[in-house]
Structure 1
Amino acid sequence: MKSLFKSKPKTPADLVRRTRELLIYANGECTSSREDKRVEKMAELSTLMKDLKTILYGNGESEPVPEACAQLTQEFFRVDTLRPLIICLPKLSLDSRTDAAQVVANLQRQQVHSRLIASEYLEANKDLLDLMIPGYENPDLALHYGAMVRECIRHQSVARYVLESDHMKKFFHYIKLPNFEIASDASVTFKELMTRHKSTVAEFLTKNYNWFFPEYNSTLLGSDNYVTKRQGIKLLGDMLLDRSNSAVMMRYVCSKENLRILMILLRDPSNCISIEAFHVFKLFVANQNKPPEIVSILVANRNKLLRFFVDFKMDKENEQFEADKAQVVKQIEALEQIAAPEQIVVSEQITAPEQIAAPEPRDQE
């Protein structure tokens, strides 16, 4: 007889609705509730987070059921569960935060009747990014919010919103945070923003060139932190070499200030950084429409550059690198002075443009 009164298994939609109820409870007056009641409800919420994750990811023994995933996705966004979840994240246990971040990440990719429901929802609720991105300032929540943000910016409209917001300037601060894990996570998100949606990024760089690249050069390429500098010069090369950014690249390689920075990076003690710097430096040399001041700098430093490239090698033999280097050397040798030489003084410091440090030959690491 007892089996006759067993409760009916909850559907994915039922689980979502109950999760939302508990999230609203947790975000409301739960602190004034009896302690035992609050603990009980938060424990139930943790269980529900695991249940939602299991539906979306499977449990190790069985694969996710597409119909169940579709039901969960549709109900999750229909009843607006993401907003209370983001707000409630600080009140969840560490394990529940991780589960929540994984659920949100998975939902960004779920299609219902060939539609990305998450993209449509976020298109109408872009302000949720204003709640998530500042999470980088909270050491306990930064990695969870960061994981969510990266998945949300898979949608082009969301990425455009972030790129056009004041959050972009804050990323330069997040990348410099003393906590290595958080700074690294912010760097990954920043790279995703700057590389995923080509046309949107090109539009952003064109409109924001005047503040973006000086900030980039100063914060990333001028950093004393090896990881920050290496990631910065690698990402710069990726951006400038992307065909979508060809107009921005031409503007960048016509700048005497930018050339100054790249020539200093060529001399970096780290072979990895100097190699990445070379991939950007060669764009200055390859430019068929070099401004007179760029030609002047290269000609004035021609002998030092040519001596430097004699011993400039990758740690492992690379035919493409050697071919690029040979072409750079050939073009530098063929340069003719078209303006009064701008003598460049060797200096360890990044100072005025007239004090660009030409690379000197050095032993390889």
Structure 2
Amino acid sequence: MKGLFKSKPRTPADVVRQTRELLIFLDLHSGSRGGDAKREEKMAELSKNIRELKSILYGNGESEPVTEACVQLTQEFFRENTLRLLIICLPKLNLETRKDATQVVANLQRQQVSSKIVASEYLEANKDLLDTLISGYENMDIALHYGSMLRECIRHQSIARYVLESDHMKKFFDYIQLPNFDIASDASATFKELLTRHKATVAEFLSKNYDWFFSEFNTRLLSSTNYITKRQAIKLLGDMLLDRSNSAVMMRYVSSKDNLMILMNLLRDSSKNIQIEAFHVFKLFAANKNKPTEVVNILVTNRSKLLRFFAGFKIDKDKEQVIKEISAL
């Protein structure tokens, strides 16, 4: 009789439900000793399930993902708190399973059910999960996994707005300068995404938070002694100010003599790369047709030095126009 009644293959929803049950078990037995046989068995089963979820969403190398299967999986995943459980339990998973889980969460941010991104709706109702993900930068073991999940979550404009408007934004100035290079780089990537992806939301944030944000940006990032921090910051500043959505913020920034002095110092940096990025911001000061008197005075006082500097500056685009603007002062 053996083999006569074959077990019914699991549906994507079944895999999600079983994954959820295993996560609940793991969460409840988190204090168990590592050698607990039952726990080890459940962990192995959980790893297998998460790997299967990933295979359904991404395909398995031999076949493409099936739309209907992805829809079923997504519906069941967000029907209950599977995402919350997965995020909370992530530190308890082994490295490979963490990687798989991170990819599952990333993919689910893009899955549509009846033309709706259900992940966005779920996150809007569970914004505390964003707090958990951001705080992950303070834990070396999970920082990169949580950081990757976070960047996928802020693809949703409402979620990016929540992070921008939260106190967490101030923490990024610390995270970007963490001594661990990989974590600092990851935090920097998230910071850049927050400040460039959703144009209207970013413009609103920068306008409302101009004073504290650029005070921190100038003193902690542009004035950093760390080459990578400084280079990424000046590049990001250029990206923000040159974006049309931020034109009002740009005009305010280039009307400040303090900002001008910071940029002039960066033009003298020992790194050519930083000099070039600084030039792209400096040219905005030069091109401003309504320069405040104090900005004009600084440019006039330093006109000879600036003209000599730009004469030997190895950049063609816009250089002649900048020289023309300064010469005309």
TM range (shorter): over 0.9
TM-score (norm 1): 0.88
Please name the residue that 1:250 is paired with. Answer: 251
Paired position in structure 1 for 2:224: 223
Tell me how far 1:266 sits from its aligned partner.
Answer: 0.3
Q: Which residue of 2 aligns with 1:289?
A: 290
Shift of residue 30, structure 1, vs aligned partner = 4.9
Residue 226 of structure 1 aligns to which amino acid in structure 2?
Answer: Y
> Does structure 1 residue 332 correspond to structure 2 residue 326?
yes
Residue identity opposite 1:230 in structure 2:
R
Name stretches of at least 5 consecutive residues in structure 2 with no aligned partner: none
Q: Paired residues, what number?
A: 328
Amino acid paired to 1:205: L
User: Unaligned regions of 5+ residues in structure 1, if any?
Assistant: 336-365
Q: What's the RMSD between the two structures over aligned residues?
A: 1.1
Matches within 5 A, 1:51-200: 51-200=52-201
Inter-partner Cα distance in structure 1 for 2:300 and 2:25: 70
Counterpart-to-counterpart distance in 1, 2:29 and 2:94? 18
TM-superposed CA distance for 1:35, in Å, is 1.1
Whether 2:268 is the aligned partner of 1:267: answer yes
Cα deviation 1:204-260 (Å, max 9, x = unaligned): 000101100010011111111111111100000000000110000000001111001
Paired AA for residue 8 in structure 2: K
Distance 2:230 2:145 in 1: 25
Letter aligned with residue 135 of structure 1: G
Superposition map of 1:5-84 within 5 A: 5-32=5-32, 35-84=36-85
Aligned twin of 1:203: 204
Counterpart residue identity of residue 326, structure 1:
E
- Give CA-to-partner distance per residue, 1:189-211, whole Å, 9 cap, x none: 00000000000000000010110
- The letter of the residue matching 2:67 is P
SS at match of 2:45: helix
CA distance in 1, matches of 2:227, 2:7: 59
C-alpha displacement of 1:5: 2.6
Is the 1:30–1:38 contact (alpha carbons within 8 Å) kept by the matching residues of 2?
no
AA paired with 1:19?
A: T
Which SS does the other structure have where 1:3 is aligned?
coil
Moved more, 35-44 or 146-155: 35-44
Distance 1:108 1:66 in 2: 15
What residue in structure 2 maps to residue 340 of structure 1? Answer: none
Q: TM-score, normalised by structure 2?
A: 0.98
Preserved CA contact (<8 Å) 1:17 1:79: no
Q: Secondary structure at the match of 2:183?
A: helix
